[in-house]
């Protein structure tokens, strides 16, 4: 179904723009009507079928074509919604915030422009997936590791720009970017950092260049279209040893988190480690029906059965050691001794696991940078095939961890869902990522999920917990929680938006940032 025209754009202007787009990219790379299904929200939450619908989609293959498209969009006032690969499914996929927007699909711009083994970096275009980069490195025999999120089909650039995380020591993806090429909303092309100097040879080596550091402006924003980006890669370590530590009680999360903080801050825990809940881990290998056929979330007795069957705990800490064997031995001693006094704790290496398909064996691949899609098995847990992420951030403290856990899990279960959460340990922060699996085809369940999500947002904000990314449906809601000093930060965002994009053509509503011509409506 064709979306309605965006407010303020006439049918004549839209048709003229699309005709010009066809001349730029070719007829076969302009998609409309029945060919637009890949640009729908794959895990829709809204019960209004007109929400988040693209009017059309365009797939350029070069930066020059992107610039031409942006010029035409400015001429006719047609809004564009850039996506790298559109695989960020739990957050809206390729669908735009504002119906009637034209999706600018950068998937065809999939060139790996350089991989430098000596300095450990890659320069890529937005259509390059983790699978693409991994396979390239393997084919060339380079001694480099990439860092991957759970699904490997996403864009290296897109995930970094959305503040995605992974599981090696290079797990903070935006922190590992170095140097961008960006098409601004007026179609001008810039390079950030050292790339602004003609003939410079440190574009992917030194982030800052001279003057203000602006790269962060283009993450989670609508201030520009990133067409190239450098990403730092990890040199292959001298040794690698993944491990799993299980904890059998819900309340253990308080002690575990308190013990993790000094280990992470001091560098004893080297990687982006995660503490994962029982159902999330069980859903990698099993379905709910294998243990429980009743309504609502699983009862405690079933949880105990699952733990015994799968050799898991109520909480499961996946981590890895990297480096020469003596270093790994020393680090492991410190980690093991930090948790050894917790009643019921168990320690595992891959050779200790008895199941052929197992949580640790799956995470062992991810923590050495092998892209996979295995994590999506959790969609089969209870049928329905949809999921959304709720992701508040807190300090790495036991008090915050247990407070967030009960605050979120009690609400999730109250609304009839199983709690499937993980606590990702960052440099100084704790990301509490709760996966809510639901029946995407059931309007009543979508409504229930929407009600739950809004309650979670309000309760988290009341405790000072802000989300670090969100589904397109909730971008305005989350932006409004960042309201210190009369919304001064978002007022600054709007000032920047109006200066760079006076016609408001680039991604209206992205991250709650609206252009002046659409701000009131």
CA dihedral 509, 514, 515, 521 (to 10 degrees): 100
CA distances (Å), origin 507, targets 30, 104, 220, 470, 481: 18, 10, 11, 16, 21
- Sign of the Cα torsion 202, 204, 205, 209 reads positive
CA dihedral 353, 354, 360, 365 (to 10 degrees): 100
Q: Which residue is associated with the tokens 């059931």? A: 442
Q: Are strands 56-58 and 102-105 parallel, antiparallel or unpaired?
A: parallel
Q: Contact, 59 vs 70, CB < 8 A?
A: no
Q: Is 354 exposed, middle or buried (0-12, 13-18, 19+ CB in 10 A)?
A: exposed
Helix (H) or strand (E) holding 458: helix 443-462
**Strands, DSSP E only, in 323-398?**
346-348, 385-390, 392-395
Q: Are strands 80-83 and 102-105 parallel, antiparallel or unpaired?
A: parallel
Q: Which of 261, 292, 469, 474 is catalytic?
A: 469
Q: Which of 43, 91, 121, 292 is catalytic?
A: 91
Q: Is 469 a catalytic residue?
A: yes
Q: Is 406 a catalytic residue?
A: no
Q: Is 292 a catalytic residue?
A: no
Q: Which of 136, 468, 477, 518 is catalytic?
A: 468
Q: Contact, 342 vs 256, CB < 8 A?
A: yes
Token reading at 93: 């996929």
User: What is the gyration radius of the CA atoms in the chain, in angstroms?
Assistant: 23
CA distances (Å), origin 234, targets 15, 119, 135, 137, 216: 48, 10, 15, 12, 22
**DSSP 8-class letter at 259:** H
Centroid of chain to Cα 2: 28
Token reading at 80: 């564009």
- Sign of the Cα torsion 248, 253, 254, 258 reads positive
Token reading at 454: 């809004």
In DSSP terms, which residues pair with 246 in a beta bridge? 316, 346
Q: Is 82 exposed, middle or buried (0-12, 13-18, 19+ CB in 10 A)?
A: buried
Q: Contact, 172 vs 272, CB < 8 A?
A: yes
Helix (H) or strand (E) holding 227: strand 225-232
At 266, is the secondary structure helix, strand, or coil?
Answer: coil
Q: Which residues participate in catalysis according to the annotation?
A: 91, 468-469
């Amino acid at each position: 179904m064709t979306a309605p025209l965006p407010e303020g754009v006439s049918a004549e202007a839209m048709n003229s723009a699309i005709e010009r787009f066809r001349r730029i990219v070719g007829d076969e790379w302009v998609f409309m009507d029945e060919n637009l299904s890949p640009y729908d929200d794959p895990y829709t939450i809204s019960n209004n079928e007109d929400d988040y619908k693209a009017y059309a989609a365009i797939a350029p293959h070069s930066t020059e074509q992107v610039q031409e498209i942006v010029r035409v969009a400015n001429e006719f006032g047609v809004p564009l919604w850039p996506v790298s690969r559109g695989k960020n499914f739990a957050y809206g996929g390729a669908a735009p915030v504002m119906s009637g927007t034209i999706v600018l699909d950068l998937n065809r711009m999939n060139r790996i422009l350089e991989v430098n083994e000596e300095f450990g970096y890659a320069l890529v275009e937005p259509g390059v997936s983790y699978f693409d980069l991994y396979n390239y490195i393997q084919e060339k025999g380079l001694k480099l590791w990439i860092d991957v999120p759970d699904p490997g089909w996403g864009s290296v650039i897109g995930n970094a720009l959305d503040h995605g995380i992974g599981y090696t020591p290079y797990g903070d993806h935006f922190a590992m970017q170095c140097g961008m090429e960006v098409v601004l909303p007026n179609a001008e092309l810039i390079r950030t950092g050292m790339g602004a100097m003609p003939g410079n040879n440190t574009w992917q080596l030194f982030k800052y260049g001279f003057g203000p550091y602006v790269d962060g402006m283009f993450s989670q924003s609508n201030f520009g279209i990133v067409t190239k980006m450098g990403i730092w890669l990890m040199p292959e370590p001298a040794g690698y040893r993944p491990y799993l530590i299980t904890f059998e009680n819900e309340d253990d999360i308080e002690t575990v988190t308190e013990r993790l903080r000094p280990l992470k801050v001091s560098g004893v825990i080297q990687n982006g480690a995660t503490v994962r809940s029982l159902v999330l881990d069980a859903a990698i290998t099993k379905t709910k029906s294998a243990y429980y056929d009743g309504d609502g979330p699983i009862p405690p007795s079933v949880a105990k059965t699952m733990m015994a069957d799968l050799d898991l705990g109520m909480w499961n800490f996946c981590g890895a050691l990297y480096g020469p064997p003596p270093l790994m031995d020393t680090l492991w001693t410190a980690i093991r001794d930090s948790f050894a006094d917790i009643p019921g704790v168990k320690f595992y290496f891959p050779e200790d696991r008895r199941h052929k398909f197992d949580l640790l064996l799956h995470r062992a691949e991810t923590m050495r940078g092998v892209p996979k899609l295995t994590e999506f098995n959790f969609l089969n847990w209870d049928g329905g095939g949809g999921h959304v992420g709720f992701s508040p951030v807190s300090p790495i403290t036991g008090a915050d961890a247990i407070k967030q856990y009960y605050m979120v899990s009690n609400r999730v279960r109250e609304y009839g869902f199983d709690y499937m959460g993980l606590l990702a340990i960052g440099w100084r922060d704790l990301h509490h990522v709760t996966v809510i699996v639901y029946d995407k085809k059931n309007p009543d369940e979508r409504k229930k999920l929407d009600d739950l999500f809004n309650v979670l947002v309000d309760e988290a904000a009341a405790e000072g917990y802000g989300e670090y990314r969100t589904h397109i449906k909730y971008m305005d809601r989350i932006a409004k929680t960042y309201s210190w000093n009369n919304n001064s930060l978002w007022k600054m965002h709007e000032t920047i938006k109006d200066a760079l994009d006076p016609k408001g053509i680039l991604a209206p509503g992205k991250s709650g940032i609206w252009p002046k011509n659409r701000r009131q409506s």
